[in-house]
Structure 1
Amino acid sequence: MSTAEMSTGVTEPKGANNDTVRRLNMIEAINDALDIMLERDPDVIVLGEDVGYFGGVFRCTAGLQEKHGKTRVFDTPISECGIIGVAVGMGAYGLRPVPEIQFADYIYPGLDQLVSEAARLRYRSATEYIAPMTVRTPFGGGIFGGQTHSQSPEALFTHVSGLKTVIPSTPYDAKGLLISCIEDNDPVIFFEPKRIYNGPFSGYYDKPAEPWKRHPQSEVPEGYYRIPLGKARTVTEGEALTVLAYGTMVHVAESVCREKGVDAEILDLRTLAPLDIEAIEASVKKTGRCLIVHEATRTSGFGAELSALVTERCFYHLEAPVERVTGFDTPYPHSLEWAYFPGPIRIGEAIDQLLSE
């Protein structure tokens, strides 16, 4: 499989050799993207708690301050509203800030700056000012972080007009999407699924998963390349049903379908806003069945929007009601987080239900 075939809608690398690839995990791919953009564009600034000398709590910014200097990569006080508010001002001034919020759970103090300032700046100024900022933040479970380090708040941001919401599921996509986000003229929330920072399924299955370093999507080209926002990736083609997922759940759903021998068409949405509704519609009309999988709570989760869109656009093609497998409508559990995740049992039962109708 060539690099260009790994994802749909890939802008060919500029100044990069497609034949020169490295096998990276997601942390390394994100670090590579930030390094490239700091090198290419003097207006790119990385800021956040512990992103400088320490290199980030998950090491995504390791070595960047030493290489690019303390004025380009710097630590901030523990003040999420301050971090995001400063980034809005930087963007309006002409810079391209990349603030990191250490965990998505701590993004709420900066919600007013994101919703009332960043998302509306272009419109309220009649395009005189923009907020070209990319807010990076790890989200979801996988580290037994409990209620304050494991939330999946993506639906809150897809609700806000003017914000873009991006969630990679592979190192290849993480690098290409992050570069596109940094170069975008609108504010973007870039959620990083921490459970697969180092590769999928760690500690999840009794039997070892295929080593991540052998996965085609761990092959990341050197240099600059972009993956356009708003384009889903077809993980597997199939005829029996369509599975819509993003982030960690792409790998879980793919593993379940493979183990059950289901001829599923799995779409990795990659960006929730803007959403590739055309790809979703084409797939569901082909298969006639749709399963939605996400880690966030069920009520008002993004799966509800997906279900509504599929029903509106594909109603006469559906052979069965749309199924959702999600987290539970409870506070996020600490010791029971593996039971909280959509896993093989619940996803398998939903697949069996869909195929029986």
Structure 2
Amino acid sequence: MDFSITPEQEQLYASMKRLAAEVIAPGAADRDKEGRWDPDVWKRLAEAGVAGMPIPEELGGSGGSIIDCCLVNEALAEGGRDGGFGLSLGAHWVIGSVPIWLHGSKELQERWLPGLCDGTYIGAWASTEPESGSDSASFKTTAVRDGDEFVLNGTKIFITNGPIADVCTVLARTDKGPTAFVVDTRTEGFVVGRELDKMGCRSSPTAEIHLQDCRVPAANILSVEGEALWRVAFECFDWERTVMMAATIGGMRATIDGAIRYAKEREQFGKPIAHFQAIAHKIAQMEINYHACRNAVYKAAWLKENGKEHMLEASIAKAMTGTLVTENALEAIQIHGGYGYLRDFPAERGLRDAKLTSIGGGTTEIQKMIISRLLLQ
């Protein structure tokens, strides 16, 4: 298997890492502390073509491949060290923009994709409900036909970009089954509820969404009415478990590099703590974990890009990364000692950001269920 990337992709990675260090990293700690989204950071990244990375050029995007998107996401996370920005960008890409690109009518594509690609608009996806999380098919939001429109009623929760989204794909149940509706968030009856106070990824706004007699044109349905789960949602999960996971890989790299710098600078018993085997072995294991996760993520992404079956590999990558990114973050805090327990150091924020990886986009337990079913079927 060829693990090399092209010279152009190497340049892309380097330029995105530099951009993130210049634009995202400054103020990341403050945005985390305040739980604040910064539209100026978004604008700078959008000007560089980041917002429309996965969308074809003819539809207004940057035309990046799946591997390109992984590299950009990884580089931004490594250089920017802001898990919240990576979360919002990933959601904007893979569940905000990609479904409209792959499943939207020409009219929906023309209406939304140019703005989503140039950063004028931000995208979101609303499927999770207070009583419907891992059991994604059990959602209760309804969509009742009324002439050329559907009337949506229900409540969604944990909606990434909910407070800032201009367009949101909402899963609702018609008499034919689960259906995906593209909803302009300015529509009457689309109500942004309370913003959620999260443990980590705090610069990414997350909210409840209430649909209160929200009228949506029938023409705004993605793909086929009643078939949203397996035609639209499950494909989004694949993108989450490949492209979005790459941001976690970049975060792992930044965490390791930060631990190495600290271990070389911090002296105890007359020498840098990096000279003690106990610390050196922690760093070695963190590096082992990083390479295992990176290889798993990029293998799944390569399979997806080349049109090969990849459900097993994507779930393996998601499960492994969700576990090991948290392990690495804990070890980074241990290496920093008491300083790692303080909010003054990025290691503490890294742990809070890391934990979401084992929850969002399908928990580690769900990934193991998928893996075991594929093996035992």
> Is TM-score (shorter-chain normalized) higher than 0.5?
no
In our comparison, the structure showing a higher alpha carbon Rg is 2
Query: TM-score, structure 2 length as denominator?
Result: 0.27
